[in-house]
Amino acid sequence: MPGPLPDGDPAPDDGSLPAAAVQRARGRGFGVYVHVPFCTVRCGYCDFNTYTAEELRGGVSVSSYPELVLAEIELAAAVLDGAGPVQTVFFGGGTPSLLPAAGVGALLGRLDSAFGLATGAEVTLEANPESVSAGYFAELVAVGVNRVSLGMQSAVPSVLDVLDRPHRPERVAEAVAEARSAGIEQLSVDLIYGTPGETDADWLASLHAALDLDPDHVSAYSLTVEPGTRLAARVARGEVAAVDEDILADRYQLADDVLGADGYRWYEISNWTKAPAARCRHNLGYWTGANWWGFGPGAHSHVGGVRWWNVRHPSAYADRVRAGRSPAAGREQPSPSAAELEQVMLGVRLADGLPLSGLPPRAVAAARAAAADGLAEAGALQAGRVVLTLRGRLLADTVVQALTD
């Protein structure tokens, strides 16, 4: 199960923020994340904050959920005075595609009336291939969803089996065709590499199958064996072998080569697009210190320099929002130096890189050393930015460590 939330300071029951934080957020626009904590089955590798119907035992359900988030939107509307419009909305999970489209529409409608949805707002919904249909995509388009992120993971049945993914590989192409013909404008696929038993040939097959779909955006994640998951227990029992770091690095390189040969360029370590316009604007907001409000159990928020996080369990969340209380479990206001440190950690993972001008002299020296070691682009450094080379991306944690020491 997921680890504990941070402690932080207590958050007030009405969710109110310091006036200075609201003032800082005013007029800048913000992103909205809606966490959808439901899955039909839990994949053995996943420790996200999500629950099956059996685990919820008749408590919060997919059909009652939009009402709860609407209650949190009312609270946000009272707290965020003049912080709109909403620039991006991201329904993430869990499995957001289990949510009826009418519920998605009700949430978008209330976000629009409360804060204004910016013209051309990016509205993403994460979908599992087995839980969508042509009709569902058409309904999503009708309520304003314009981007879908599809959990493809692999094109190889044996790999999907180890991951406990219930869909057939062919279902992904069908779902993509359904989404496109319904009018979804931006399509992204998620892939995972480094599943126990996966071979280089399997990974190549998955990459080529993804490219055959001509997606606007590709995310490729290295499989993390999360403590407490069924996968971790299987690894501990010796039933399956965790993949070692060298093989994971080879797989990353293969992904960058194969995607690159087809015209896809990285813009964040795990994300590639052909056109810069297809970059996920919502996630870029997280990585560049923008403001966002995370709705739902366990969701995190950042507004005007204040961070907070909601209670994790859907029942605890429901109790709070039904009583008109903030679901925040705690909050903190990172010091300017902690905020800068975070910007270095996130900014260095972006292809746009980190401006040298904001860095202290010791970090600038570390950036020069990284360039000398072939971890940062020499040309970009001369132009005043730290941009990782392919080797630097493979050793990003080491570079971050050196820059922040």
Residues 6+ apart with CB under 8 A from 360: none
223 binds, among ligand SAM, ligand SF4, none (CB under 5 to 8 A by kind): ligand SAM
Stretch that binds ligand SF4, among 42-50, 227-235, 275-283, 390-398 (CB under 6 A): 42-50
399, 348 Cβ separation under 8 angstroms: yes
Single residue of 124, 153, 154, 389 touching ligand SAM by CB under 6 A: 153
Stretch that binds ligand SF4, among 37-45, 83-91, 232-240, 284-292 (CB under 6 A): 37-45
Stretch that binds ligand SAM, among 218-226, 277-285, 289-297, 323-331 (CB under 6 A): 218-226
Mark 114-153 with x for binding to ligand SF4 (rule: CB under 6 A) and - for no binding: --------------x----------------------x--
How far is Cα 102 from Cα 351, in angstroms, rounded to an integer? 38
How far is Cα 354 from Cα 322, in angstroms, rounded to an integer? 43
How far is Cα 36 from Cα 97, in angstroms, rounded to an integer? 9
Q: Give the rounded distance of the alpha carbon of 355 from its chain centre.
A: 24
153 binds, among ligand SF4, ligand SAM, none (CB under 5 to 8 A by kind): ligand SAM
Question: Shortest approach of ligand SF4 to residue 60 CB, angstroms?
Answer: 16
Stretch that binds ligand SF4, among 89-97, 224-232, 248-256, 360-368 (CB under 6 A): 89-97
DSSP state of 10: P
How far is Cα 240 from Cα 231, in angstroms, rounded to an integer? 8
Single residue of 30, 45, 193, 295 touching ligand SAM by CB under 6 A: 45
Single residue of 11, 22, 39, 403 touching ligand SF4 by CB under 6 A: 39
Question: Is 97 one of the binding residues for ligand SF4 (CB under 6 A)?
Answer: no
Residues 6+ apart with CB under 8 A from 74: 114
373 binds, among ligand SF4, ligand SAM, none (CB under 5 to 8 A by kind): none
Single residue of 24, 28, 42, 265 touching ligand SF4 by CB under 6 A: 42
Single residue of 16, 224, 253, 333 touching ligand SAM by CB under 6 A: 224
**Looking only at residues 97 through 136 of this chain, which bind ligand SAM when binding is defined by CB under 6 A?**
126, 128
Strand order in the sheet with 306-310: 265-268, 271-273, 217-222, 186-193, 147-153, 117-127, 86-93, 30-36, 292-295, 300-303, 306-310, 328-332
Question: Is 318 one of the binding residues for ligand SF4 (CB under 6 A)?
Answer: no
| Closest among 231, 163, 150 to 198, alpha carbons compared | 163
Q: What are phi and psi of 160, to 5 degrees?
A: -60, -35
